[in-house]
Structure 1
Amino acid sequence: MSAVQGSVTDEAMLETGATTDIIGYRLRRAQLSVFQRFLSAFEALDLRPAEYSALALIGDNPGRKQTEIAEILGIKRANFVALINGLEGRGLTERRTAPGDRRANALYLTKEGERFLARARKVQDDFEADCIARLGGPKARDTLLELLGKLC
């Protein structure tokens, strides 16, 4: 069982095993910690995790439909439209009519978006290296990703 020291007025140990020994609880705490560090790392770029992921996917898959990118990211359509509106407003992405489907939008990075993504990828590489170091190296990273994949 896990326990933490109580407050100054309460000398008894606080039993935390009912939460800290639960996979979902630990995953959520880890997610919050990683996201806080991500936000700090990307603060100068004013970039959130979902925005980085969208830019990276669009950069690697220019011309894919908006709905495809949203689906891969697991973002609801309305929320993704707002995300893309924001990126487009910053001059990083553009929508064009999808070839063969005039009702759909294909997504592309602008020239500024390509330059911005190159800077963001450098920040991401440094951030990822820090996460890997915290885990104990590449082998631990690979093990973690394998285990997380089993939960998906």
Structure 2
Amino acid sequence: MSATVVIDDRSGLDISLIDRSVLFQIRRSQTLLGRRFQSRFSDFGITPGEYGVLLLIASNPGRKQTEIADALGMQRANFVPLINSLEARHLMERRPSAQDKRSNALYLTAAGDAFVKEICAAEETFEAECTARLGGAKAREAFMLLLARLSV
């Protein structure tokens, strides 16, 4: 059975092989959504990674930095500079963990808490636009379930 040839309207390239690739479609979507995120959140001076860290700290104050990094799937080498940056901006702070004094627990500062509220309000609009592009709330839920299946 022969595959359908798919030609990219902008470049004229045959993209048939990658057009069928789940990996490529996810990567392309990630890149495009990342660009949209950057344009929307540029006034806040925040990256998607920093956004995720702040949300997890807001939802889980006092958790060890290794737990936050693991939840985001980030390696220590990438995570430490990220939290150093957030700490330098006075958005979060490290304190010795109550359970393990060798570890750091992460907390939002008062400024960080206010900042998270601001970026969450901006993210609501961004999320609503993504939901509309997917075809509504039911389609979004189905999409999220499918993505979750790929993550296990």
So what's the TM-score if we normalise by structure 1? Answer: 0.92
Partner of 1:66: 65
Matches of 1:113 and 1:5, distance apart in 2? 44
Q: Figure out how many residues of one structure are paired with residues of the other and give that number.
A: 147
Change (3 A) 1:115 1:5: closer
Q: Quick check: 1:3 aligned with 2:10?
A: no
The aligned amino acid for 2:17 is: A
Matches of 1:4 and 1:76, distance apart in 2? 36
Say what the alpha-carbon RMSD is for the aligned residues.
Answer: 1.3
Structure 1 counterpart SS, 2:120: helix
Structure 1 counterpart SS, 2:61: coil
Matches of 1:51 and 1:6, distance apart in 2? 33
Partner of 1:10: none
Structure 2 counterpart SS, 1:101: coil
Q: Quick check: 1:143 aligned with 2:136?
A: no
Kindly state the Cα deviation for residue 5 of structure 1 after the two structures are TM-superposed.
4.5
**Any residues of structure 2 matched to 1:15-34 within 5 Å, and which?**
15-34=14-33
Structure 2 counterpart SS, 1:103: coil
Matches of 2:123 and 2:81, distance apart in 1? 23
Matches of 1:147 and 1:14, distance apart in 2? 29
Alpha-carbon displacement from aligned partner over 1:53-108 (angstroms, at most 9, x marks no partner): 00000011100000000000011112111100000000000000000211000000
Matches of 1:99 and 1:27, distance apart in 2? 40
Give the 4+ runs in structure 1 shifted more than 2 A: 4-7
Structure 1 counterpart SS, 2:70: helix
Structure 2 counterpart SS, 1:75: coil
Q: Quick check: 1:119 aligned with 2:118?
A: yes
Which runs of 5 or more structure 1 residues have no equivalent in the other structure? Answer: 8-12
Structure 1 counterpart SS, 2:87: helix
**Any residues of structure 2 matched to 1:96-107 within 5 Å, and which?**
96-107=95-106
Kindly state the Cα deviation for residue 129 of structure 1 after the two structures are TM-superposed.
0.5
Change (3 A) 1:6 1:33: closer
Alpha-carbon displacement from aligned partner over 1:10-69 (angstroms, at most 9, x marks no partner): xxx642111111111111111111111011111000010010000000011100000000
Change (3 A) 1:3 1:57: same
Which runs of 5 or more structure 2 residues have no equivalent in the other structure? Answer: none
Change (3 A) 1:15 1:134: same
Change (3 A) 1:5 1:73: closer
Change (3 A) 1:20 1:51: same
